[in-house]
């Protein structure tokens, strides 16, 4: 059975979806953004949709622009548990957080906290750092790797805003595959690995990442740097042309030599306020030790 993970977060609401759009509340601001999954009709009236403070539309395949209907500051923040996460309107339509991930942050925190031992965690492609902060807040030593220097700068701003500057987090702006291969050669070991790889990307030296081609290889290298007492591997993926079953098969193949582990997989989703319709957003897979 495929699980559907539906988080609840008081500072975020999915108000409505439809006609290729989604209407969301981030704190006190309402945003109207593109949502390719929402091929159904909108539930709320046009008057409700016109209450959005900002509307995002694409100009080309990668970039777009925001039309402001009301004044929005250059950045604002939301609270989640002990984290303070900074939001901005970007030319890609992102705002700095993915609310559908919030249950995963709780899961990371709970698993590391319950381990009752020192945990070394590796956080790959995790954008502005919420997964990294969940691991660090639970007591892990975390290495955060991302090829995007602006994303790491944003994540470090979140770290300072969340009063986590004393937590043991190493920030490494590098291509994830290159870093993990080097860790294999060094004999480095991690108890927990967190990944949110993109569908397509480029590293700082022009390295090309394609999920279907490179993710199985990355998983294999990640398995090689797991410690003798691995705690978990968690991966999420957005906008890729495979199902969560395919993702679980990839993880199962990479972890086949690990004993006493369980795989859980499913979809990340959000429930809209207007009529409880579920919006699928991403897929995930988690391998965790039973020991």
Question: Which pLDDT belongs to residue 61?
Answer: 66
Q: Tell me the average pLDDT across 135-157.
A: 96
Alpha-carbon span 101 to 82, nearest angstrom = 16
Query: Is residue 119 over pLDDT 60?
Result: yes
pLDDT confidence of 167, banded at 50, 70, 90?
A: very high
The reported pLDDT for the residue numbered 265 is 96
Res 41 pLDDT > 90: yes
In whole angstroms, what is the distance from residue 21 CA to residue 40 CA? 10
Sorted by where each starts, the structural domains of the chain and their CATH numbers stand as 3-87 (2.60.40.1180), 99-289 (3.40.50.150)
Residue whose token pair is 């750092």: 129
Phi, psi at 218, each rounded to 5°? -60, -40
Can you tell me the mean pLDDT for 155-177?
A: 96
Look at residue 102 in the predicted model and tell me its pLDDT.
95
Give the distance between the most distant pair of CA atoms in the chain.
59
pTM for the model: 0.94
Share of the chain above pLDDT 70, in %: 98
What would the mean pLDDT of 187-216 be, rounded to a whole number?
86
In the predicted structure, residue 115 carries a pLDDT above the cut 60: yes
What is the per-residue pLDDT across 240-285, written as a single tens digit (0 to 9) for each?
A: 888 999 999 999 999 999 988 999 999 999 999 989 899 999 999 9
Dist CA 133 CA 123 (whole Å): 10
Q: What is the mean pLDDT of the chain?
A: 93
Q: What is the pLDDT of residue 98?
A: 95
Q: What's the pLDDT score for residue 250?
A: 95
User: Taking each helix axis from N to C terminus, what angle separates 211-224 and 244-254, rounded to the nearest 10 degrees?
Assistant: 30
Q: Over pLDDT 90: what percentage of the chain? A: 84
Bridge partners for 212 per DSSP: none
Q: Sign of the CA dihedral 207, 211, 216, 220?
A: positive
Closest CA to 209 of 125, 101, 96, 122: 125
What is the pLDDT confidence band of residue 9, given thresholds at 50, 70 and 90?
A: confident
Q: What is the pLDDT of residue 288?
A: 97
Angle between the N-to-C axes of helices 130-137 and 149-161, in degrees from 0 to 180, rounded to the nearest 10? 40
The mean per-residue pLDDT over the stretch 198-219 comes to 81
What confidence category does residue 62 fall into, taking pLDDT thresholds of 50, 70 and 90? low
Q: What is the mean predicted confidence (pLDDT) over 120-132?
A: 97
pLDDT at 78 exceeding the cut of 90? yes
pLDDT at 14 over 70: yes
Per-residue pLDDT, averaged over 19-41, amounts to 96
pLDDT level of residue 23 (50, 70, 90 thresholds): very high
Per-residue pLDDT at 149: 94
């Amino acid at each position: 059975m495929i699980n559907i993970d539906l988080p609840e977060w008081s500072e975020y609401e999915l108000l409505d979806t439809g006609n290729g759009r989604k209407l969301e509340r981030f704190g006190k601001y309402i945003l109207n953004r593109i949502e390719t999954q929402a091929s159904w009709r909108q539930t709320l009236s046009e008057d409700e949709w016109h209450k959005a403070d900002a509307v995002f539309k694409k100009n080309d395949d990668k970039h777009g622009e925001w039309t402001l209907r009301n004044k929005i500051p250059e950045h604002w923040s939301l609270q989640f548990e002990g984290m303070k996460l900074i939001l901005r309107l970007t030319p890609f339509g992102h705002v700095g957080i993915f609310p559908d991930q919030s249950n995963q942050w709780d899961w990371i925190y709970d698993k590391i906290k319950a381990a009752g031992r020192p945990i070394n965690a590796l956080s790959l492609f995790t954008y502005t750092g919420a997964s990294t902060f969940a691991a660090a807040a639970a007591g892990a030593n975390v290495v955060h790797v991302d090829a995007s220097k602006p994303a790491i700068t944003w994540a470090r701003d979140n770290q300072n805003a969340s009063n986590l500057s004393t937590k043991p987090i190493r920030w490494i702006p590098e291509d994830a595959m290159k870093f993990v291969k080097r860790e294999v050669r060094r004999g480095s070991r991690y108890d927990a690995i967190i990944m949110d790889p993109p569908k397509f990307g480029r590293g700082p030296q022009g390295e090309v990442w394609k999920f279907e081609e490179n993710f199985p290889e990355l998983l294999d290298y990640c398995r090689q740097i797991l410690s003798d007492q691995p705690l978990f591997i968690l991966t999420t993926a957005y906008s890729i042309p495979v199902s969560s079953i395919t993702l679980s098969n990839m993880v199962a193949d990479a972890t086949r030599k690990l004993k006493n582990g369980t795989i859980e997989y499913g979809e990340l989703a959000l429930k809209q306020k207007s009529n409880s319709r579920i919006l699928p957003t991403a897929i995930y897979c988690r391998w965790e030790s039973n020991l």
